Every structure is written in structure tokens, then in C-alpha cells.
């Protein structure tokens, strides 16, 4: 069997075109969705991420503001900036690019963002909303994974999903989203023994570990859906995921590539959340 690809670039294109149409509609009602991105310091990877986010906003007609701050920025100054953006009616979403420098308490910073503008979905209010099935903002990466499953018409009811990784931004919210769609969910982490025994029982596997080849072909049930969240570099410096793509694709039914899979979907769901935040101001 050779797995069918779930093409995140193509799906993103469709979803971003929808976003652009909705933005135009909102503009006729006097609102342009606005996203503020705050970058503290000069981490090269973070610079690329924020540039891509701002570019994607511009391409879909959203208003975007990039605030770059010196790495030595005082925590109180950062909190004051966020407070200003919380009160700015032209800004509907606020994103603070992580990681933050060590002298800044990332938890405190995230909690200072108004939950109504928490388009990254990292605030405790957003986490609680996801946990209880209430409306809120879903973290963009697992939300993108859910959209990918939806795009292939995959019905999660009664299926066994195995999530590799339990971070607050990917693994845990991913597990909750799958659970909400009636999957039976197993979450694995660095202390889980015999992961292969679990993945071999899975209809859906989401790999979000951050290590190459964490999922190999002998760990996958024939026909399973494999979503690869990982972003790693191989010996040649080429971007690759957590999944041994070339071999797993021989066994899986569906698979996401890296690059061109979950990555573009993450930015797309940020646009979707920002649009949603703006729409909520009109309800
Ligand atoms: P993270 O915070 O470092 O979490 C990694 C998780 O993997 C932890 O829960 C860890 O377990 C678990 N783990 C480590 N070794 C393992 C193993 N051998 N088997 C099973 N689980 C293991 O990372 P993250 O922020 O969730 O990100 C995960 C990956 O996704 C990274 O490569 C990141 O770059 C990528 N990512 C991609 C996107 C995108 O847009 N494509 C977005 C976000 C993240 P413990 O909890 O026990 O330590």
C-alpha cells in the first residue's frame, strides 16, 4: 500500500481563500481583522516564523502589526505592551512568539493576553474551554490537524487515536480535540514503555515529539492515518518530521508530508482564529 498524501499546502490555500472572502465581508461591515505579533529578541527561527505569520495575514487581507523588542526588554514593559494591544480595537488577535528570553515568565505573559484575543489558544481560559467543550480558541497546530482529518472525510467516532507527545501546545490539546470527536485516545510521552505496542493498535497516529524517526514503519497498522507535527533537520540540514516518511508511507493509508503538511496549516488556523475573534466583536 502507498499512503495518500494529505497536502497541507493545498488545503491551506483553500482555507486561506475562504478567510480572504470572509475578511472582505467583514470589511463591508466596518471591521478589518487585525493580528498583533510580538517578537522579543532575535532568535533566527522565531524571526522566520513571525515573518511568515505577518505575510500570511497580508495575503489574506488581514491587518497585521509586528512589534519587535530587544531581548533585554523588561517583563513589565512587555506586559504593558500587551495591555495596550488588549485595549486596541483595531487588534483582534495577539500572539507572543515563543520561546521568550529566560528572564521573562512566559506563563505570566500568556495569561496577560485578553482571552478574547488569545488566537494562539494558549491562555488558561482557552485551555479550559477546550477541556469543557465550550467555545474558545483552539491551539493552531492541533486545530490544523483536525482540519486535515476533516478534509479527508475521516470519521473519528470509535477510532483509536494515539498521540505521541504531551506538550501544552500540541499533544494535550490534540488529545482533547480527538476525544471531543469521539475517538478513544492514548497519549504517549518520554516515560511510556513499549510505544510500538500502542501505535500498532492505532487508527490515527499524531507524532508531536520533535525527534526524527520516532515513528517507523514497523510501528504502524496498515491503512492508519499518520499526521506528522514534528519539525526537525536531517544531516543535510533539510526539514523533516518525526515520521520515517519514506517507509511509513508504504504502510499507512494517509500521511502528511514535512514540509508541506501540518506546518502551513498552523499559520492558516491562526488566520482562522483571528477572523473568528473579529467576528465575535460583532455578535
Ligand atoms: P515539546 O514541548 O518538546 O514536547 C515533546 C513531547 O514529546 C513531550 O511530551 C515529550 O515527553 C515527548 N517525547 C520525547 N521523547 C519521546 C519519545 N521517545 N517517545 C514519545 N514521546 C516523547 O515539543 P512540542 O512543542 O510539542 O513540539 C513537538 C514537535 O512539533 C517539535 O518538533 C516542534 O518543532 C513541532 N511543532 C511543529 C509545529 C508546526 O507548525 N508544524 C508547531 C508546533 C510544534 P515528556 O513530556 O515526557 O518530556
pLDDT tens readout for residues 37-96: 999 999 999 999 999 999 999 999 999 999 999 999 999 999 999 999 999 999 999 999
CA dist 136 → 26, 145, 154, 169 (Å):
20, 17, 23, 15
What pLDDT, in 10s, does the model give residues 157-182?
Answer: 999 999 999 999 999 999 999 999 99
Structural contact between residues 16 and 271, judged by C-beta atoms closer than 8 angstroms: yes
- Do 168 and 201 lie in a common domain? yes
In this structure, what CATH number is given to the domain that contains residue 89?
3.40.50.10860
- Structurally, how many domains does the chain consist of? 2
- Do 236 and 145 lie in a common domain? yes
Q: How far apart are alpha carbons 269 and 99 in whole angstroms?
A: 20
Residue 7, in any domain of the structure:
no
Residue identifier of the C-alpha nearest atom 17 of ligand 1: 190
Residue 93, in any domain of the structure:
yes
Range of the domain at 259: 139-263
- Do 258 and 161 lie in a common domain? yes
| Active-site annotation, residues | 53, 97, 120
Residue 161, in any domain of the structure:
yes
Residue partners of 42: CB distance under 8 A and separation at least 6: 71
Which atom of ligand 1 is nearest to 232's Cα?
A: 32
Please work out whether the CB of residue 188 comes within 6 Å of at least one atom of ligand 1.
Answer: yes
Please work out whether the CB of residue 256 comes within 6 Å of at least one atom of ligand 1.
Answer: no
Confidence of residue 192 (pLDDT cuts 50, 70, 90): very high
Please work out whether the CB of residue 164 comes within 6 Å of at least one atom of ligand 1.
Answer: yes
Question: Looking at the whole model, is its pTM more than 0.95?
Answer: yes
Amino acid at each position: 500500500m502507498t499512503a495518500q498524501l494529505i497536502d497541507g499546502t493545498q488545503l491551506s490555500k483553500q482555507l486561506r481563500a475562504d478567510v480572504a472572502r470572509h475578511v472582505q465581508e467583514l470589511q463591508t461591515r466596518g471591521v478589518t481583522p487585525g493580528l498583533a505579533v510580538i517578537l522579543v529578541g532575535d532568535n533566527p527561527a522565531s524571526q522566520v516564523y513571525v515573518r511568515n505569520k505577518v505575510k500570511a495575514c497580508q495575503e489574506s487581507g488581514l491587518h497585521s502589526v509586528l512589534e519587535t523588542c530587544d531581548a533585554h526588554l523588561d517583563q513589565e514593559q512587555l506586559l504593558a505592551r500587551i495591555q495596550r494591544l488588549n485595549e486596541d480595537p483595531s487588534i483582534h488577535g495577539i500572539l507572543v512568539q515563543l520561546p521568550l528570553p529566560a528572564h521573562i515568565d512566559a506563563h505570566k505573559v500568556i495569561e496577560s493576553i485578553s482571552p478574547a484575543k488569545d488566537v494562539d489558544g494558549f491562555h488558561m481560559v482557552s485551555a479550559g474551554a477546550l477541556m469543557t467543550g465550550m467555545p474558545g480558541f483552539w491551539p493552531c497546530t492541533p486545530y490544523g490537524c483536525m482540519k486535515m482529518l476533516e478534509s479527508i472525510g475521516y470519521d473519528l467516532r470509535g477510532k483509536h487515536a494515539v498521540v505521541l507527545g504531551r506538550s501544552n501546545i500540541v499533544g494535550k490539546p490534540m488529545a482533547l480535540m480527538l476525544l471531543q470527536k469521539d475517538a478513544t485516545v492514548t497519549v504517549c510521552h518520554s516515560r511510556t514503555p513499549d510505544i510500538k505496542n500502542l501505535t500498532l493498535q492505532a487508527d490515527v497516529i499524531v507524532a508531536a515529539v520533535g525527534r526524527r524517526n520516532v515513528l517507523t514503519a514497523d510501528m504502524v497498522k496498515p491503512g492508519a492515518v499518520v499526521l506528522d507535527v514534528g519539525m526537525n533537520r536531517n544531516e543535510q540540514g533539510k526539514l523533516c518530521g518525526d515520521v520515517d516518511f519514506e517507509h511509513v508511507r508504504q504502510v499507512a493509508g494517509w500521511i502528511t508530508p514535512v514540509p508541506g503538511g501540518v506546518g502551513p496549516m498552523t499559520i492558516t488556523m491562526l488566520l482562522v482564529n483571528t477572523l473568528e475573534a473579529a467576528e465575535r466583536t460583532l455578535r
